[in-house]
Amino acid sequence: MKYEVVIGLEVHAQMLTETKIFCRCSTKFGSEPNTQTCPVCIGMPGVLPVLNKKAIEFAIKSGLAMDSNISSYSRFARKNYFYPDLPKGYQISQYELPICEHGYVEIVIGGTIKKIGITRIHMEEDAGKNIHESAPPKTDGGHYSFVDLNRAGVPLMEIVSEPDIRSPREAVEYMKKLRAILQYLEVCDGNMEQGSLRCDANVSVRPADQKELGVKTEIKNLNSFKFVEKALEYEIERQKKILDERGKIVQETRLWNPERGITESMRTKEEAHDYRYFPEPDLVPIIIDQRWIDDIKKSLPELPDTKRERFVSEYRLPEYDADLLTSEKHLADWYEEAVKLGGQPKIVANWVQGDLLRLLNEENKSIEESPLKPEQLVGMLRLIENGTISGKIAKTVFEEMYKTGEDAEFIVKEKGLVQISDAGEIEKIVDAVIAKNPKEVARYKAGEEKLLGFFVGHVMKLTKGKANPQMVNELLRKKLSGSHP
């Protein structure tokens, strides 16, 4: 049986405000537990929430960047449920009247552009965090649960997509695009490890010729692109297998278990909460003036799609390069600075996509943490252009710059990496290599021309990679096809 996959994502993005959504507590990540709390965010009776204006601005920005309608009238509601990390007993969230509706984003899949609809974007507060530990220090070794309320009241945007996504790959591309847009807008740092961006995925499969949707399951709290892809792949196969065996899919919430590589049932629909939403009586409705929306619209930065198109037209980059380089704002900025300093656009792109990203990935660093600055790359490219170093040596220089933070010129001098471009000196070594390998010389002359690489390799080894490769190639060709019988 052929099936069609239907996926919708609910993405939670933590807004980059300095203070929480309804109080003045700091939102800084990584502080000691419960040091960023006050009577409002720990849910003391009698306190009143006051809405953070910056959060509204950020939500409007995001809505505009995703071509949404911004509601002139929206409202908060109480979502009631009990959990230790939610001391109020309810979460303040937008429900029937969200701030943004009916938007879309574009993703590039197999070279073609696909629109993914955005149903709504609404604001809400985050809950705290439960930490379960066994045998903490100086105790009886039992199991303990702790509650850290630093995160309680941190402003979130929930971005809900239409069920327009048709594969795990598309889901990842969609989420990457959302992250890029939010980062460009500087409304969310997009840090998935710290939980600033995470998603719940709704997924169902249906026979290819069936109109109505299949029964869906929801996979909760996916906090990396890899988990999104793996969890969806697993869940789709699981559902297909059930349908193949004429079984019934249960509507339920599932959790991704990364150790076992499977999704596991968390609760079924029967066990689902009834949240008993009702309008939040402590907050007035949000009325947004059209002029404010217009002002925010004017202040929007260049967004990823526009930048990608500009990189293609202005720098003549292939789509692939432009897409990758604009996938993160700081990466695009780093790249553009190097080009503005005089780097050839395509050559800079190659170094950034290849060596720089590889070295950063090895250390799990972001481009902002790069020890290498654009001017250093451009300085090294100048040394290649003027023949001081070869492209091969440049690889070593690049790694050394990255490791030490020194400039290329200094490294080249210090390590004696200046390219040998003295024809006489190279000729001596070429002659020696030819004299040492008579068998290979004979084979080359008999027509095995690919052996040229063998000779080049030997010359490079003897010169520690410093010989001018073009000269080595020319000299070897000349000598090998030369006057010898």
- Binding span for Zn ion by CB under 5 A among 22-30, 229-237, 244-252, 469-477: 22-30
21 near Zn ion (CB under 5 A): no
Minimum separation from the CB atom of position 20 to Zn ion (A): 5
Q: Which is nearer to Zn ion, 41 or 401 (CB)?
A: 41
Residue 14 neighbours by CB distance under 10 Å: 24
What is the contact mask toward Zn ion in residues 65 to 104, using x (rule: CB under 5 A)? ----------------------------------------
| Residue 23 binds Zn ion, judged by CB under 5 A | yes
Least distance CB 99 / Zn ion (angstroms): 22
Which DSSP letter does residue 472 get? H
CA–CA separation, 322 and 316 (whole Å): 9
Distances (CA, A) of 295 to 300, 301, 306, 460: 9, 13, 20, 61
Q: For strand 252-257 and strand 217-222, is the pairing parallel, antiparallel, or unpaired?
A: parallel
Q: Which one of 19-27, 275-283, 406-414, 459-467 is the stretch in contact with Zn ion (CB under 5 A)?
A: 19-27
Q: What whole-number distance in Å separates Cα of residue 391 and Cα of residue 449?
A: 24
User: Of 25 and 356, which CB lies nearer to Zn ion in the complex structure?
Assistant: 25
Residue closer to Zn ion, measured from CB, 23 or 188:
23
Which stretch, 30-38, 96-104, 110-118, 230-238, contacts Zn ion (CB under 5 A)?
30-38
Instruction: From 34-42, 63-71, 296-304, 464-472, give the range in contact with Zn ion by CB under 5 A.
Output: 34-42
For the record, the structure tokens of 288 come out as: 């947004």
Neighbours of 7 (CB within 10 A): 26
Of 21-29, 192-200, 211-219, 292-300: span binding Zn ion (CB under 5 A)? 21-29
Closest approach, Cβ 323 to Zn ion, in A, equals 41
- Span near Zn ion by CB under 5 A; candidates 23-31, 168-176, 185-193, 221-229: 23-31
Distance CA 241, CA 247 (A): 8
Q: Indicate the residue among 38 and 51 with the shorter CB distance to Zn ion.
A: 38
Rounded to the nearest whole angstrom, what is the least distance from the CB of residue 187 to Zn ion in the complex?
Answer: 21
Burial class (CB in 10 A: 0-12, 13-18, 19+), 345: middle
Rounded Cα distance, 411 and 418, in Å? 10
Residue 127 in contact with Zn ion, rule: CB under 5 A? no
Cβ distance to Zn ion smaller for residue 39 or 342: 39
Question: Shortest distance, CB of residue 22 to Zn ion, whole angstroms?
Answer: 8
> Is 33 in contact with 146 (CB distance < 8 Å)?
yes
E strand spans, 295-411: none
Q: Total residues contacting Zn ion (rule CB under 5 A)?
A: 5
Q: How far apart are CB 383 and Zn ion at their closest, in Å?
A: 55
Task: Provide the strand spans (E) within 18-68.
Answer: none
Contact segment (CB under 5 A) with Zn ion among 38-46, 74-82, 208-216, 476-484 equals 38-46
- The dihedral sign for the CA sequence 29, 34, 40, 42: positive
Distance between CA 372 and CA 338 in Å, rounded? 11
Question: CA nearest 236: which of 6, 474, 480, 477?
Answer: 6
Question: In whole angstroms, how close is the CB of 94 to Zn ion at the nearest point?
Answer: 20
- Please give the helix or strand (H or E) that residue 58 lies within, else none: helix 53-65
Nearer to Zn ion, 23 or 296 (CB): 23
- Closest distance of CB 21 from Zn ion, Å: 10
Q: Are residues 357 and 369 in contact, defined by beta-carbon separation less than 8 angstroms?
A: no
d(CA 345, CA 354): 14
38 binds Zn ion (CB under 5 A): yes
Q: What is the DSSP string of 127-180?
A: --EEEEEES-TTS-S-EEEEEE-TTTT-EEEEEEE-S-B-SHHHHHHHHHHHHH
Spatial contact of 184 and 303, defined as CB atoms under 8 Å apart: yes
Nearer of residues 40 and 397 to Zn ion, judged by Cβ = 40
Q: Nearer to Zn ion by C-beta: 42 or 367?
A: 42
In this complex, which beta carbon is closest to Zn ion, that of residue 16 or of residue 303? 16
- Look at residues 12, 8, 114, 97 and name the one whose alpha carbon lies nearest to residue 62: 12
The CB-of-155 to Zn ion minimum distance in angstroms stands at 12
Scan residues 40-69 and list those touching Zn ion (CB under 5 A): 40-41
Nearest to 217 by CA among 199, 236, 233, 198: 236
Tell me the closest approach of the beta carbon of residue 24 to Zn ion, in angstroms: 7
Residue 430 to residue 424: CA distance in whole angstroms:
10
Q: How far is the CB of 37 from Zn ion (least distance, A)?
A: 5
Q: Which is nearer to Zn ion, 40 or 332 (CB)?
A: 40
25 binds Zn ion (CB under 5 A): yes
Which range binds Zn ion by CB under 5 A, 20-28, 62-70, 243-251, 381-389? Answer: 20-28
Least distance to Zn ion from the beta carbon of 151, Å? 11
Residues of this chain that interact with Zn ion (CB under 5 A) are 23, 25, 38, 40-41
